[in-house]
Amino acid sequence: MARDVSQYVHEVTTQGYTVIPDVFSADEVERMREAIEEIFAREEGTLAGHGPSVRFSINLTNKHAVFREMIQHPVIMDVMAQLLADDFILSSLHTRSTYPGAPLQFLHRDWLLDKRIPFPTHVNSMWMLDDFTVENGATRVVPGSHLWDGDPEEGRTYPEDYAVGRAGSVAVFDSRTYHSGGANRSNGPRRGLTGFFCRSWTKPQEDHTRSVDPALLADASPLLIKLWGFHAQAPWEIPTEPNVLKQLPAPGVPETIPA
């Protein structure tokens, strides 16, 4: 039976964030844990500027089949469609997983396209692959800040909350909401994935049409092709063929379109 997500959408709209429990099954969580540990081992020594107690990897739908499957989860798709409209695309899928000793991250917004736009253009989702607790660094949020002008002020104290939940839960927040990764004061990892989505007419963090291995396209579902942005490309003119617009092809996506 499909889950009614209207209450969660309402909470994102009014307070800037929500936590949806038990989106992923225990088996799905374990498969994703194994996949990110495999990727971390493969990318050992690769630096991403997040500090020695934080492991970071981007473009995950290009790196493992389980992420190409899970990014299409119906609950996440339904929430994003209600918040961003049906033609939303994937801005990025990455992991920022913290380990004992990881410090508190600074408050920030993920995206503020234009403060005059009175609706969300980008929405983030934090997939909890371990239980998220205050002690191990659950995402810190400032309720209602998605409706405020300006960015967080250094040194100012804000009314905070923490997006806590069991492994398999997903925190969803408007990208304008002030938030940060919490400090990991526990003895274990706080592994999570960040699925960032945006309206199709805005700029994503990653251009999947160029970063995804073309060999993956043949087996990609129509939904995944759409999430990767192949239907939302800005085409370019071919210098040797005036008035011909070229774009990167994919199943269902032509290589050229009429000018």
Domains of the chain in start order, with CATH, are 6-234 (2.60.120.620)
Q: How confident is the model at residue 112 (pLDDT cuts 50, 70, 90)?
A: confident
Strand, coil or helix: what is 35?
Answer: helix
Q: What is the average pLDDT score of the chain? A: 93
Least trusted range by pLDDT, from 44-48, 76-80, 84-88, 172-176:
44-48
Statement: the pTM of the whole predicted model exceeds 0.75: yes
SS3 (DSSP) at 219: helix
Give the pLDDT mean for 223-249: 93
Q: Which candidate, 194, 177, 176, 58, places its Cα nearest to that of 121?
A: 176
Is the pLDDT assigned to residue 100 strictly greater than 60? yes
- pLDDT for position 220: 98
Tokens of 151: 């960015």
User: H or E stretch including 235?
Assistant: none
Residue 142: what pLDDT?
97
pLDDT at 115 over 60: yes
pLDDT at 184 over 80: yes
Q: How far apart are CA 256 and CA 1, in angstroms?
A: 41
pLDDT at 238 (0 to 100)? 84
Q: How far, CA to CA in Å, does 245 sit from each of 209, 234, 239?
A: 16, 9, 10
> What's the whole-number mean pLDDT along residues 186-203?
96
Run of H or E including 29:
helix 26-42
Q: What is the per-residue pLDDT for 52?
A: 74
What is residue 1's predicted lDDT score, i.e. its pLDDT?
A: 52
pLDDT of residue 44: 85
What is the residue-wise DSSP string for 147-206?
GSSSPPPTT-----EEE-B-TT-EEEEETTS-EEPPP--SSS-B-EEEEEEE-TTS--SS
> How is residue 203 written in tokens?
């700029």
Report pLDDT for 49: 61
Share of the chain above pLDDT 70, in %: 97
In whole angstroms, what is the distance from residue 161 CA to residue 140 CA? 6
Residue ranges with strand state E in the chain:
17-20, 54-57, 89-98, 122-128, 139-141, 161-163, 170-174, 179-180, 192-198, 236-238, 241-246, 256-258
Q: What is residue 50's predicted lDDT score, i.e. its pLDDT? A: 66
Average pLDDT over residues 138-167: 94
Q: In the prediction, which pLDDT does 114 show?
A: 73
User: Is a pLDDT exceeding 80 seen at residue 113?
Assistant: no
